[in-house]
Structure 1
């Protein structure tokens, strides 16, 4: 892992000594792998949303089952702001490392509930209740993980390489989608339908429970970067974000809306869209997530390097506008030629624009806050932004198709959110190549 990390570092012209660079590469690997394992637990749900809807939700129609399953996916995001407040404040008070260890245990607990919960046919209404509870626990954990891990990444960097370091947050999320896609593909190809529906779909969540021992091991030697002089402030960091930094909070949330809507449509929704709207077999539809994740993983570090060179705001604008222009024609192409080759072409092209937009959008958020409130501020900005417009993106997109009769309606959702996010882009200041504080 370390070898692949050091190659883009050279391109980023890091100014650290070789020994320090090697240590930082190991730190990036530890944060990235732990974060990716946690997001794996959270995102693998979406690849089996259709199947989970059929097993756990007592609705007669396939459309109703899918909508309830996607709504359950979105419910997990409702807990993110609370997780951001509680765990973010804990990270600013007690340190980034203890907060990230806590999120590991919580994520494993949520995954365990997916592993052991019987279907609706076996225990009735208790089944969907337990599934929803598992999603709420996972959402709470992710709400705190993202702020702590992203802050730690940026605090390891210097003023000229924060984009590169922060890009590994997006790399880790793409890694989780890639692993989820590979698990989904393996299970759908290797298992007969009855085995997949009875126990096979639970296997990725069993793997997800491994986040605790693996995550604890790889994160044990991370260097703490939290500001201990403000350790006594506790939840004062929350008050500061809603007080002196409330304008930054609003601007950040607006900025996040556009990126998160595109992210969850392109990176997560396309598998279900290909299966339910385009009529492709699930075995083929699973390749959409794999293609999106592969492109994102390969290009994330270089997107960070670009934002270090030309600035966060310019990098965001140069990619967000083309995405808004091209996404509707891309969906039209998909529906005009609904086959695997077209699906992979469209997903790969949109993912390229998405990753070069997402990296500077995520990196700029913690840069807007001082160290003493950074984890809390980053957590709240991101969690509020994804709560509605990301978590329920798949639900809204599916509902828009039914409401309008337009199979390209998911593109309209991304365009609307993207236009709103330009207000946030105008409100934030440029942060690249400037002191973090």
Structure 2
């Protein structure tokens, strides 16, 4: 195969258009899904009132996890649809679902007005969001990878990581802006709804952008039972799905704790000002936005294998988490907090793209979309979506704010082990 030219007839101009369009909508969907975490404490007060603020936060982050629990179902249905019908069709199907779920959360009256119906509506909105994004991320990454040449896969796939970082950056920036221009009472009462309303832009933007994309045909259909790609995935690639989920865990858990949980952690656990909390998340999200393209360039320049970079980043993250969190816990100013959060986020960003690429290349094309989507959905359902709930619960039980660090160390070590066990595919495939 000539590695210097795009496959499937995509020239460089069309490839750039494809990457921008796919990353833009994926980022918007991720923004809609994850902005809930930034305002979990306020959402908890509005929809899950309790005498103990930590109990209210625990219920809110539990609702945040509902979206993750439903993601495997969305991944199975949407990923399988993508392998049978096409990547673009599957991506288009996620947009309306995401918009509907976000709208339910944005306009739902608080518990004080409609009682128990309020948390039920919010939970339903999270479920719709989870179903949609469960299939979106794996299918979008597959679409981009298959459209480009092998020699540029690192750079192409890295933009999916950029879109996730940009979504977090937008959410954290809005949080920082709102906390600086609004009174605490107004922010808690209605200001937290503003990011959700902004996120509703996904519907018209997503429909317009993806309507103009061209379908990339599946590369490998030899031996495929077209009606049952999911059955083939379970029968022949179950071990790969499990290892892929564990590999992605090493970046997912740190991201959901250091980026998304940090505002709640710093304000409710460390009793720091909300401004510092959102500045920390903003800096972390910035690292996740600017570093992946550099990582992509490095991946494409690696002589033969991708695993060494994945092992390096997951290993270094595991080693540095504890001393970094110790510095954050003992901090009496913003600088140590920002430095620590930025350091962990930079390491995660360096390894995110190579982790995605290892997973994509581990599956044959006929089940790649479903395999990638399901493994990622399992990862975030079991580890990402539960991270805030687990950490909050452990801190509440033990009274030790360092519990968050120990949990992150464990997940990074498991991810390191999974990378070791995964059989890396030749770069030419």
Residue 364 (structure 1) aligned with residue 353 (structure 2): no
The one of 385, 390, 401 equivalent to 2:395 is 401
Q: Distance in 2 between matches of 1:304 and 1:404?
A: 41
Aligned residues: 421
**Match for residue 7 of structure 1?**
none
Residue 262 (structure 1) aligned with residue 251 (structure 2): no
Q: Distance in 2 between matches of 1:369 and 1:143?
A: 18
The one of 207, 217, 231 equivalent to 1:216 is 207
Q: Is the Cα contact below 8 Å between 2:37 and 2:260 reproduced in 1? A: yes
**Match for residue 321 of structure 2?**
327
Q: Distance in 1 between matches of 2:96 and 2:333?
A: 41
RMSD: 1.9
Q: Distance in 2 between matches of 1:236 and 1:267?
A: 38
Deviates more, 1:142-151 or 1:394-403: 394-403
Q: Distance in 2 between matches of 1:253 and 1:192?
A: 42
Q: Is the Cα contact below 8 Å between 1:280 and 1:339 reproduced in 2? A: no
* Mapping 1:210-289, distance limit 5 Å: 210-227=201-218, 233=225, 236-289=228-281
Q: CA deviation at 1:338?
A: 3.7
Task: Check 1:211–1:233 CA distance in 2 against 1; reply closer, same or farther (3 A cut).
Answer: farther
**Match for residue 32 of structure 2?**
41
Q: CA deviation at 1:219?
A: 2.2
Q: Is the Cα contact below 8 Å between 1:46 and 1:268 reproduced in 2? A: yes
**Match for residue 15 of structure 1?**
4
The one of 131, 135, 139 equivalent to 1:148 is 139
Q: Distance in 1 between matches of 2:256 and 2:332?
A: 21
Residue 290 (structure 1) aligned with residue 282 (structure 2): yes
**Match for residue 194 of structure 2?**
203
SS at match of 1:226: coil
Task: Check 1:80–1:234 CA distance in 2 against 1; reply closer, same or farther (3 A cut).
Answer: farther
**Match for residue 411 of structure 2?**
417
Q: Distance in 1 between matches of 2:189 and 2:85?
A: 43
Deviates more, 1:60-69 or 1:207-216: 207-216
Q: Is the Cα contact below 8 Å between 2:79 and 2:135 reproduced in 1? A: yes
Q: Give the structure-2-normalised TM-score.
A: 0.94
Q: CA deviation at 1:233?
A: 4.9
Please list every run of 5 or more consecutive structure 2 residues that lacks an aligned counterpart in the other structure. none
Please list every run of 5 or more consecutive structure 1 residues that lacks an aligned counterpart in the other structure. 1-13
**Match for residue 139 of structure 1?**
130
Q: CA deviation at 1:263?
A: 2.0
Q: Distance in 2 between matches of 1:266 and 1:70?
A: 15
Q: Is the Cα contact below 8 Å between 2:67 and 2:131 reproduced in 1? A: yes
Residue 96 (structure 1) aligned with residue 83 (structure 2): no
Q: Give the structure-1-normalised TM-score.
A: 0.92
